[in-house]
């Protein structure tokens, strides 16, 4: 049974993998999906698996997204061919590519590996930084979400393949109706679902791969990660002021290292979008939060109020907190290749809380499309697991 919107635009098929149909989570997932449908104008269909079932103790949920190797040049051409007339689309600085199709950036270096039998094995070193001048695989090939491939018109895979999945644990209590506030001992299901679907739509960073496999606190794969695809479309807009002058010359540089003070910029690093668009910098070797998020606003600084966070892609959610989508969130999607249904750069003060999103969704006669299908497709990308605390981290 598939219900589909008649109008052109972004459609999200929700594929019930387990336990969603007939549960309170069904409407919650639909509302979260309908929000993204309401702000994107790209004429594409995204397939997301959803599950509402018991998980391991203290694990509130998991998310995975499908990603594929994609030449940076192909993504860039796709962005140019599909961009809208919005201020951001017309002014955003895309990466300059060399003759081989590579972009330059600051990356993490390597050190000799103490655990590998191969004497030439190396360990990614998150304490060292190197300038990579477009000559590595990581500078020529993105590890790109299939959802973003679709957004910029370069997807060539199966129309039924899943672009990601989201699982929520039935072991925890969620508030499914934010119109009367979020109960103090519950999580805002719709807010968390919007956040998680947002990862499958492209808000990810290859810096997390450096971090999870880097010295001193991550794993050790025994080879230089720059010999593989790593980075996302969003990473093309990740900069720092380059305070230690790793890159040639003066001024900001694209900075894809763990740690430091990196930020979202659409003008080549000259300014932060909205004045403050800092990113988180790594769970294992950075600031303790996955780099696939904006910078965490700590609870003791008002971080349990969604209006005080940089956006819904903040890395934590508090019990009793109502989620708020900000203009900064949507600007990130606009930059990576999604088209927004308003000029977001000139409306960065935009915000919508989940109570407003709930009311909007239930007032729309044609909600997110819903597909009852049998799961079983494989997904690329590691699951992100979170442990429940007063403040829940998407780590």
Query: Which pLDDT tens digit goes with each residue over 366-392?
Result: 434 444 333 332 233 333 333 333 333
Q: What does the alpha-carbon distance between residue 237 and residue 291 come to, in Å, rounded to a whole number?
A: 13
DSSP 171-200: TS-EE--GGG---TTSEEHHHHHHHHHHHH
Domain range for residue 208?
Answer: 2-393
Give the residue with greater pLDDT, 143 vs 301.
143
Q: What does the alpha-carbon distance between residue 254 and residue 371 come to, in Å, rounded to a whole number?
A: 40
**Residue 260's pLDDT is what?**
96
Query: Which pLDDT tens digit goes with each residue over 263-297?
Result: 999 999 999 999 999 999 999 999 999 999 999 99
Question: Token pair of 78, please?
Answer: 């796709």
pTM of the model: 0.91
Q: Count the helix, strand and coil residues of the chain and give each as a percent rounded to the nearest 5.
A: 25, 25, 50
| Residue closest to 63 by CA, chosen among 377, 318, 388, 385 | 385
Q: What does the alpha-carbon distance between residue 389 and residue 394 come to, in Å, rounded to a whole number?
A: 11
No. of H helices and E strands in the chain? 9, 20
Query: Which pLDDT tens digit goes with each residue over 2-26?
Result: 333 446 799 999 999 999 999 999 9
Give the pLDDT mean for 305-329.
96
Residue 114 pLDDT exceeds 60: yes
The count of structural domains within the chain is: 1
Give the pLDDT mean for 320-345.
98
């Amino acid at each position: 049974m598939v219900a589909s919107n008649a109008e052109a635009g972004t459609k999200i098929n929700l594929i019930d993998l387990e336990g969603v149909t007939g549960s309170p989570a069904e409407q919650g997932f639909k509302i979260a999906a309908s929000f993204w449908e309401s702000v994107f104008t790209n004429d594409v269909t995204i397939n997301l698996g959803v599950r509402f079932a018991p998980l391991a103790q203290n694990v509130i949920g998991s998310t995975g997204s499908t990603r594929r190797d994609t030449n940076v040049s192909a993504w860039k051409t796709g962005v140019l061919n599909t961009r809208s007339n919005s201020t951001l689309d017309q002014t955003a600085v895309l990466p300059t590519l060399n003759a081989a199709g590579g972009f330059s950036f600051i990356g993490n270096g390597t050190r000799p590996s103490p655990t590998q039998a191969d004497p030439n094995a190396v360990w990614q070193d998150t304490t060292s930084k190197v300038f990579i001048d477009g000559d590595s695989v990581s500078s020529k090939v993105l590890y790109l979400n299939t959802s973003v491939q679709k957004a910029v018109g370069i997807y060539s895979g199966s129309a039924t393949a899943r672009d990601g999945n989201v699982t929520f644990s039935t072991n925890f209590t969620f508030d499914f109706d934010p119109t009367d506030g979020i109960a103090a001992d519950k999580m805002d299901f719709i807010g968390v679902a919007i956040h998680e679907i947002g990862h499958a739509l492209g808000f990810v960073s290859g810096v997390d791969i450096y971090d999870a496999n880097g010295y001193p606190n991550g794993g050790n794969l025994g080879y230089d990660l720059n010999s593989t695809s790593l980075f996302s479309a969003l990473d093309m807009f990740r900069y720092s002021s380059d305070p230690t002058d790793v890159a040639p010359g003066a001024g900001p540089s694209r900075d894809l290292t763990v740690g430091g003070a990196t930020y979202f910029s659409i003008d080549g690093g000259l300014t932060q979008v909205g004045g403050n668009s800092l990113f988180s910098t790594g769970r294992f070797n950075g600031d303790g939060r996955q780099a696939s998020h904006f910078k965490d606003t700590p609870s003791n600084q008002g971080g349990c109020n969604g209006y005080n966070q940089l956006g819904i892609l903040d890395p934590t959610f508090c019990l009793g907190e109502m989620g708020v989508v900000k203009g900064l969130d949507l600007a990130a999607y606009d930059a990576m290749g999604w088209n927004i249904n308003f000029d977001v750069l000139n409306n960065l003060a935009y915000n919508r809380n989940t109570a407003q999103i709930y009311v909007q969704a239930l007032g729309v006669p044609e909600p997110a499309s819903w597909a009852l299908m049998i799961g079983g497709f494989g997904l690329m990308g590691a699951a992100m697991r979170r442990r429940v605390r007063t403040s829940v981290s998407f780590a």
